[in-house]
Amino acid sequence: MVICIIENSLKIRLLKQADLLNFFDEYTLAKLVEDCREISLSPKEVLFHEDDLENAMYLILEGELEVFKGPKQIAVLGPGNYLGEMSLIESKARSASARAEQFTLLMEINEEHFHTYLASEPQALLDIMRTLSGRVRNDLETMIKDIRQLSIFTHDIRSYLSTLGLAELTLEDTIELLGGTDPRHKKRDGLEDMEKCQEVVQKVRINLMELLDSSLNHVKKIKISSSTGYRRNCSRACHTHNCRT
C-alpha cells in the first residue's frame, strides 16, 4: 500500500460523482479531502484481508477492487463505490478480503472522519443502508443459487445411493450362490472377488451418505446465515442512524 497525492480539485470532482458524498457542498468536500488520506494500490495488491481488525472504510476514486472470500469472488467495485463501512458500524473484523484489479486510487475514511462527516448526515446513512440492502440482495441471490446447486447435488447422490443399494442386493445374492447353501459345499471361483467388490460398494455407500448429510447441513447453515445476516446488518445501520439524529 502506497500513499499517493493527487490534486484536491480532482478529488473533489471525483467525490461529486459518488452517491455517498454528492450532496455535500464543495467547502465540506474540500475539508474532507484535506482530512482523509489517499491510497494507491498496484494491480493484485491487497487492501485488507478477511479477519483484519481496523476501523476504516474506503471510497474508490479510480480503478477497480475485487472483493473476495476465500477462493470465491463476491464483487468487483469501481469509481464511486465504497467498502469497509461495516467495520465502522459494527467495529468487527473484516468479513472479506479486497485487492486491486488494476492501478487503483482510494480515499480512506477512518472512524473519526466517519462520525464527523457522515454519521450525522441522514442522506449519507440512507445511501449506506441502500448499499447494504443491495449487497444483502446479491448475497441472497448467490445463496439461492448455491442452495439450488446443492439440491441438485443431493438429488444425484440419492440416485447413486439407490443404484448402490440394488448393486449390494445383487452382490449378496451372487455371494450366496457362489458360497453355497451348505458349509460342506465347495466354494466356487469368483467368490473372493465378489466379496471384495461388496466391501468396496459398502464403503462407497457409507461415504456418499456422509457426503449427503454434510450437504444437507450446509444448506441449513446457508439459510440460517442469510436470514440472520440480513437482520443484523439492517439493525446495525438503523441503530447508527438513530444514535446520530
- The predicted-structure confidence for 92-136, as pLDDT tens digits, reads as follows 889 899 999 999 999 999 999 988 888 888 888 888 888 877 777
Distance CA 205, CA 172 (A): 15
CATH of 2-118, one of 1.10.1760.20, 3.40.50.300, 2.60.120.10, 3.30.1490.100: 2.60.120.10
pLDDT at 242 > cutoff 70: no
All structural domains of the chain with their residue ranges:
2-118, 139-244
pLDDT at 72 > cutoff 90: no
81 DSSP β-pair partners: none
In tens, the pLDDT along 144-192 reads 777 787 778 777 777 778 888 888 888 888 888 777 666 666 667 778 8
Q: Which residues of 171-188 are buried (b: 16+ CB within 10 A; e: fewer)?
A: beebbeebbeeeeeeeee
Residue 235: what pLDDT?
A: 53
> What residues contact residue 165 under an 8 Å CB cut-off, 6+ apart?
205
Rg over CA atoms, the chain: 29
Residue 232: what pLDDT?
A: 54
Angle at 202 between CA 198 and CA 207, to 5 degrees: 150
pLDDT at 60 > cutoff 90: yes
Q: Which three cell numbers stand for residue 86?
A: 461495516
Beta strands in the chain, from DSSP E residues, in sequence order: 2-3, 38-41, 46-48, 56-62, 65-69, 72-77, 82-83, 97-100, 104-110
Residue 221: what pLDDT?
A: 67
pTM over 0.75: no
- Start-to-end CA span in the chain (Å): 35
Distance CA 210, CA 206 (A): 6
DSSP state of 76: E
Distance CA 9, CA 43 (A): 25
pLDDT at 85 > cutoff 90: no
pLDDT at 3 > cutoff 50: no
pLDDT at 34 > cutoff 50: yes
Check residues 81 and 162 and name the one with the higher pLDDT: 81
With 0-12 CB in 10 A as exposed, 13-18 as middle and 19+ as buried, what is 155? exposed
Q: SS3 for 87?
A: helix
Distance CA 32, CA 108 (A): 10
Share of the chain above pLDDT 70, in %: 83
Q: Which of 94, 40, 96 shows the shortest CA–CA distance to 67?
A: 96
Residue 205: what pLDDT?
A: 80
Residue 49: what pLDDT?
A: 94
Distance CA 56, CA 62 (A): 18
| Residue appearing with cell numbers 478480503 | 97
Average pLDDT, whole number, for the chain?
80
